[in-house]
Amino acid sequence: MSAPATKTSADPAVSGERRGSRRRRRKTIAGTTLWFWVFVGPFVVGLLVFSYLPIIWSLVLSFFEAYNTATPSKFVGLRNYVDMLTDHNFLSSLGTFTIFAVFIVPLTFVLALALALLVNQVKIARAFFRSVFFLPTACSYVVASLIWKLSIFNGVRFGLANTVLGWFGIDNIAWLSTVDPPWYWIPLVTVRLWLQLGFYMILFIAGLQRISPTLYEAAYVDGAKPGWQVFRYITLPQLRATSVAVLILNLIAAYQAFDEFYNLVGNVNYARPPLVYLYGISLGSIQDLGHGSAGALILAVIIMLVTLLQNRIFGFGKAGD
Amino acid sequence: MAVSERTTGTPQPIGFSRSTWGRVALVLRWIALLIAVVLFLIPFYLILRNALATEQDITAPDWTLFPSHLQWSNISELFNDTTVPMARAMYNSAVVAILGTGGQLLLASMAGYGLARIPYRHADKIFYAIVATLMIPGAVTFIPSFIVVSSFGWVSSLRGLIIPTLFSGFAAFLFRQYFLGFPRELEEAARVDGAGYFGVFWRIVVPNSLPFFAALAAITFIGNWNSFLWPLVIGQDSSSWTIQVAMSTFITAQTINIHELFMAVAVSILPLVLIFAFLQRYLIQGVTQSGIKD
């Protein structure tokens, strides 16, 4: 991050450095502004067309009736928003995702940290172990859902989960369609754990390796017991920045769950995250883009609010990264 | 006692001691590690087993650890099956992943360099406009983006799959931060030799930043290859399916054999396994630098 010091900018403040360099460059390079737009222009145009325009268009459309069309026709005011906020299915999908987040975020955090600690202290074949846990990151949610649905939790005799249970004399379980008890959460949670634990483990390993060994030496000299005490008072506080990043990334990802739900259970009312529901109403048999836009914007606002709240609670940026 | 452990210089998050309890803990940790390894490898084992089996092997009431006779012919069966457009889907995925990655890196690196190095009065405002897009949760934008892309008439086309994904505010942000830390002396030297911004960027900056490019390329390629929601939204016609959309369709369609589907999985993860085998260093760098995947 540290920009190399130049003669004109002993102070690393960005503005000072810029001013200095601009003075120098004006003499040497003609058409600086033109070059700026050659470099930045294509990207900015694309961002306007494919990020800003969609959001503005969607915002406009959310105040209109728009069935099977992306052109606003009949103005309905806030009705789409009122409809969505009183729509039982939309609200229950928000509830579903909350339950999902409550399961998946702490589980991912604890297990990823545990894997990182295990791998980090191994002295032989550490690269092998790291690779094994990281490798599932190469698989898509579709691939993992396919394995989970057709080979592990397929609910019939030749599925792996039921085969293993069969060795203990337990009857077949229809994993993905049993609502009481809600067995479907087991495939839904494990598939995500398998796919993303390695990714968060890598973040934790990087965090662990940034901890100075002298801290552990000092703790040893001070008589801290190896194990829990050292972990609690040295490792965990030192991982603060990484932990906050992992929690936030993880929660945002949970809010946007789509792929594995869509592929494992489809558009069913008992396990439907908000995105699957919005996909259904805006791109299903009737393309209701007015309600879809309103729902997408509501969801976006919720995610931003939760992220900000979480930043506040954990004091993002307090601990230096 | 434990001091000898410290001489290796590696930090010991959970300290070792030679006491009985320390030994038990060590054994327990190894057991936990090995169980985790087995659990993480099971899905890969299932891919190989089912991809090389006959349908009878897979649906047999008793578990066969591995098919007695490996069915390599499943590969040709998959690609010759006219009801399943797998070859086409694989081609689409390759085009999307390669052009998508190349295009995204080209646009974002040039934008990042311009913002970091070319003085312009309103550069700050443009930078903030780019960073603002990072606030918007990515997946929520599929409906707005669909509205725009469908009015361009780009549904069910490769253009619709690729072009809207090229403008990553996050990649531009990462490149800007990276180029701010690039040694100015190298650029100044080239400038003395008469090179302009364009020449400096392509002849000096890019060739000296290849590890950074490789790290972002590896992550972006994997993300593009595995991307599902946007290709599902855009690929409404089977000719524009990517491999992910094709596999997803056949999970529920029941029109394909299980062994064929698992062969499709095996083929579809092959490029990524190769990236993992040869570029893992860059991949891990990319993950830790950016903290992104999707």
Cα A187 to Cα A149: distance, rounded to the nearest angstrom = 8
pLDDT at A249 over 90: no
Task: At A318, list the tokens.
Answer: 């307090």
% chain A with pLDDT above 90? 31
Please say whether the beta carbons of A137 and A199 come within 8 A: yes
Task: At B109, list the tokens.
Answer: 């690196």
Cα B29 to Cα B14: distance, rounded to the nearest angstrom = 11
Size of interface A-B (CB pairs under 8 A): 325
Look-up: residue for tokens 């394995």?
A: A147
Look-up: residue for tokens 């009015």?
A: B151
Name the amino acid, one letter, at B48: L
Look-up: residue for tokens 């590890």?
A: B211
Write the DSSP symbol of residue A267: S
* ipTM for the predicted complex: 0.86
Query: CB-side exposure of A279: number of CA atoms within 13 Å?
Result: 24
* Alpha helical stretches, state H, chain A: 14-28, 32-47, 53-61, 79-86, 88-121, 126-134, 141-147, 160-167, 185-209, 213-221, 228-230, 236-238, 240-255, 259-264, 274-283, 289-314
Q: Percentages helix, strand, coil for chain B, rounded to the nearest 5? A: 75, 0, 25
The three-state secondary structure class of A67 is strand
**Chain-chain contact of A29 with B123 (C-beta, under 8 angstroms):** no
> Any idea how long chain A is?
321
Q: How far is CA A117 from CA A133, A203, A232, in A?
A: 13, 12, 13
pLDDT one-digit tens code per residue, A115-155 = 999 998 888 888 899 989 999 988 999 999 999 998 898 87
Task: At B121, list the tokens.
Answer: 């009065």
| pLDDT at residue B63, as a whole number | 81
Cα A186 to Cα A195: distance, rounded to the nearest angstrom = 14
Element (H, E) at B244: helix B243-253
Higher pLDDT, B5 or A180: A180
| pLDDT at residue A74, as a whole number | 84
For residue A307, the chain B residue with the least C-alpha distance is B135
Beta-ladder partners of A288: A67
CA Rg value for chain B: 25
> Per-residue pLDDT averaged across A185-191, rounded?
92
> Per-residue pLDDT averaged across A157-167, rounded?
84
Cα B280 to Cα B171: distance, rounded to the nearest angstrom = 20
Beta-ladder partners of A64: A75
Q: How far is B32 from chain A (nearest CA, A)?
A: 8
Cα A208 to Cα B232: distance, rounded to the nearest angstrom = 39
Sort out which chain A residues have CB atoms less than 8 A from B276's CB and list them: 131, 134-135, 138
Cβ neighbours around A66 below 10 Å, total: 25
Sort out which chain B residues have CB atoms less than 8 A from A72's CB and list them: none
Task: At A258, list the tokens.
Answer: 């789509």
In degrees and rounded to multiples of 5, residue B217 shows phi and psi of -65, -45
pLDDT one-digit tens code per residue, B80-91 = 877 778 889 999
Cα A70 to Cα A36: distance, rounded to the nearest angstrom = 35
> Per-residue pLDDT averaged across A75-86, rounded?
90
pLDDT one-digit tens code per residue, A6-61 = 333 334 444 444 444 544 544 445 688 899 999 999 999 999 999 999 999 889 98
Task: At B294, list the tokens.
Answer: 């999707």
**Chain-chain contact of A115 with B36 (C-beta, under 8 angstroms):** yes
Burial class (CB in 10 A: 0-12, 13-18, 19+), B66: exposed
Q: What CATH class is the domain A79-314?
A: mainly alpha
- Interhelix angle B210-226/B86-117, rounded to 10 degrees, is 140
**Chain-chain contact of B114 with A163 (C-beta, under 8 angstroms):** no
For residue A73, name the pLDDT band (cuts at 50, 70, 90): confident
| pLDDT at residue B92, as a whole number | 94
| Domain boundaries of chain A, sorted by first residue | 12-61, 79-314
Cβ neighbours around B33 below 10 Å, total: 18
| pLDDT at residue A109, as a whole number | 95
The three-state secondary structure class of A74 is strand
**Chain-chain contact of B110 with A249 (C-beta, under 8 angstroms):** no
Q: Which residues contact B234 (CB under 8 A, 6 or more apart)?
A: B146, B149, B154, B155, B156, B157, B160, B161, B240
Q: Does the reported pTM lie above 0.90?
A: no
For residue A66, name the pLDDT band (cuts at 50, 70, 90): confident
Of B288, B162, B50, the closest CA to residue A204 belongs to B288
Cα A244 to Cα A107: distance, rounded to the nearest angstrom = 15
Mean pLDDT of chain A: 83
For residue A203, the chain B residue with the least C-alpha distance is B288
CA B160 to chain centre: 20
> Any idea how long chain B is?
294
Please say whether the beta carbons of A74 and A63 come within 8 A: no
A residues 81-120 near B, CB within 8 Å? 114-115, 117-120
Residue ranges, chain B, pLDDT below 50: 1-16, 292-294
Please say whether the beta carbons of B41 and A138 come within 8 A: no
Look-up: residue for tokens 């001013």?
A: A19
Q: How far is A181 from chain B (nearest CA, A)?
A: 24
Task: At B57, list the tokens.
Answer: 């092997």
**Chain-chain contact of A121 with B225 (C-beta, under 8 angstroms):** no
**Chain-chain contact of A54 with B169 (C-beta, under 8 angstroms):** no
Beta-ladder partners of A67: A288
pLDDT one-digit tens code per residue, B102-138 = 999 999 999 999 999 999 888 999 999 998 888 887 7
Please say whether the beta carbons of B136 and A300 come within 8 A: yes
Q: How far is A180 from chain B (nearest CA, A)?
A: 23
Task: At B63, list the tokens.
Answer: 């578990």
**Chain-chain contact of B46 with A151 (C-beta, under 8 angstroms):** yes
Write the DSSP symbol of residue A71: S
| pLDDT at residue A319, as a whole number | 41
Of A197, A145, A127, the closest CA to residue B36 belongs to A197
In degrees and rounded to multiples of 5, residue B239 shows phi and psi of -70, -20
| pLDDT at residue A107, as a whole number | 94
